[in-house]
Amino acid sequence: MSERLAELYPNHVASVVARAERALAFGDCDHLLLASGREQYRFLDDRPVAFYAHPPFKAFVPLTSQTDSWIVLTPGRKPVLVYCQPDDYWHLPPAPPHGYWVEQFDIRVIRKPEDAVQHFPPPGDRLAIIGEAHDAVGAYVPNNPPRVLSSLHFSRSAKTEYELACMRLAQRRAVRGHRAAEAAFRACGSEIDIHRAYLEATSHNDLDLPYGNIVALNEHCAVLHYQYQRHDRPAEHRSFLIDAGAQVHGYASDITRTYGNGDAEFSALLAGVERVQQQLCAKVRAGQNYPLLHIEAHHLLAGVLAEQDIVRMSAEAMVAEGVSSVFFPHGLGHPIGLQVHDVAGFHANEAGDTIPRPAGHPYLRMTRTLEENFVVTIEPGLYFIPMLLAGLKAGAHAGAVNWRKVEHLTRFGGIRIEDEVRATSGEPENLTRDAFAAG
């Protein structure tokens, strides 16, 4: 696959350069400076905060841990990579630039961050400097021109063939972890045991992950962003929800799976969510309005609640009265790429005007209409969250709920199933299912 990346990369860089030049023209700027980022330290401490290169920098080069470096782009010229390789015997310095990507750049190696200014255009020129305030070098202070930044974000939504190849590799890497995690659950491991199995299988450490793994057993499956990994093993392993991804060359994957212990009622509910999830994945096509797909998810999941005799209302009534939101309280998904929750999910246009969320759906992370080569997650779920159920029990529709069944299923927490799907003009490409099928 590395040969395939080498083949695809030149066209990717050409595309990224063209987008950047368009962004400069759109923002009335002459030069683009993209910071990789600078290492920071904890307050009143000498321990560094985990470093991750800024996404606009990673869009050009597959360098995810390179501090104090810059991309310098002037339209019509070969892009410059200012590559910081400090003299350092306390830490392992970066290796000299190497790999399939180096020929696409005019590479200037520096030893100290402040030396970067020697390779920048004059400060009086119209510069778009993208980064955080602490990335400033001398007189070059990030200004993040809104029109330039918005254009860069907007253009990242459609993925290049190189990006898609990296994302497929990230899927395959994460799938290895998911298989190991399921095996650890079946072996009655603790949450931390399962997490460690995942890291081992993906050849990641915690800092390599694109986000903190959600590794939840039993009632913890009802916590949408469950943030702990307990060391103790529960008396029963009733259910297991894992939301975990991996990275390849800065591109993220984000996969969720839920497993049960054979309980008939939970298994039936899990099968219903799986069916709905696959129906929704099949509709990820160019021209699909994503908010409408989210609303459809509510109707389909409400149908499952009715089928399983959890709520005795029609699907239409459940959605209209907000009952479905008690069991499905988050959005259908989000864009993904260089970031797990990728940028421009709400952009109406290159200028950054936004498309509002549908009324009553405050947590939806994308409101755009899908286009060719957009990649989004599809992650419907049904949960038994005590706080939300208490409100339902105290409300007007309490009598429509089968509380015996809810009480039983609350012990399992909840269900979420998540795939990454590429929109095309024809059949969608389900990157996640393809990775599982490949073994």
Question: pLDDT exceeding 90 applies to what percent of the chain?
Answer: 98
> Of the candidates 302, 251, 283, 268, which has an alpha carbon nearest to the alpha carbon of residue 378?
283
For the chain, how far is it from start to end, CA to CA, in angstroms? 16
State residue 3's pLDDT score.
Answer: 65
Q: Give per-residue pLDDT as tens, 227-279.
A: 999 999 999 999 999 999 999 999 999 999 999 999 999 999 999 999 999 99
List, in sequence order, every residue forming a beta bridge with 383; answer none if it has no partner. Answer: 414
Burial of 262 (0-12, 13-18, 19+ CB in 10 A): exposed
How many other C-beta atoms lie within 10 A of the C-beta of residue 79? 20
Q: Give per-residue pLDDT as tens, 314-354.
A: 999 999 999 999 999 999 999 999 999 999 999 999 999 99
Model confidence at 1, pLDDT cuts 50, 70, 90, reads low
Q: Give per-residue pLDDT as tens, 102-126.
A: 999 999 999 999 999 999 999 878 9
Rounded CA-CA distance 259/221 in Å is 10
The arithmetic mean of pLDDT across residues 396-412, rounded, is 98
Rounded CA-CA distance 65/76 in Å is 28
State residue 125's pLDDT score.
Answer: 82
Instruction: Check whether 4 has a pLDDT greater than 80.
Output: yes
State residue 124's pLDDT score.
Answer: 79
How many other C-beta atoms lie within 10 A of the C-beta of residue 158? 17
Q: Which two tokens stand for residue 95?
A: 């290796």
Q: Checking phi first, is residue 374 left (phi over 0); if not, alpha (psi -120 to 50) or beta?
A: beta
List, in sequence order, every residue forming a beta bridge with 54; answer none if it has no partner. Answer: none
Rounded CA-CA distance 72/31 in Å is 7
CA contacts within 13 A on the Cβ side of 158: 15
The arithmetic mean of pLDDT across residues 182-207, rounded, is 98
Rounded CA-CA distance 191/193 in Å is 5
Distances in Å between the Cα of 435 and the Cα atoms of 204, 247, 258, 373, 392 are 18, 14, 17, 18, 39
> Of the candidates 67, 411, 57, which has an alpha carbon nearest to the alpha carbon of residue 219?
411
Which amino acid is located at 243 in the chain? D
How many other C-beta atoms lie within 10 A of the C-beta of residue 137? 22
Instruction: Check whether 223 has a pLDDT greater than 80.
Output: yes
Domains of the chain listed by start with CATH number:
2-155 (3.40.350.10), 161-437 (3.90.230.10)
The arithmetic mean of pLDDT across residues 390-411, rounded, is 98
Q: Which two tokens stand for residue 355?
A: 């498309």
The arithmetic mean of pLDDT across residues 143-148, rounded, is 98
Distances in Å between the Cα of 117 and the Cα atoms of 71, 95, 121 are 12, 22, 8
Instruction: Check whether 101 has a pLDDT greater than 60.
Output: yes
CB 5 within 8 A of CB 100: yes
Q: Give per-residue pLDDT as tens, 18-29.
A: 999 999 999 999
Q: What is the pTM of this model?
A: 0.96
Instruction: Check whether 13 has a pLDDT greater than 80.
Output: yes
Rounded CA-CA distance 413/237 in Å is 12
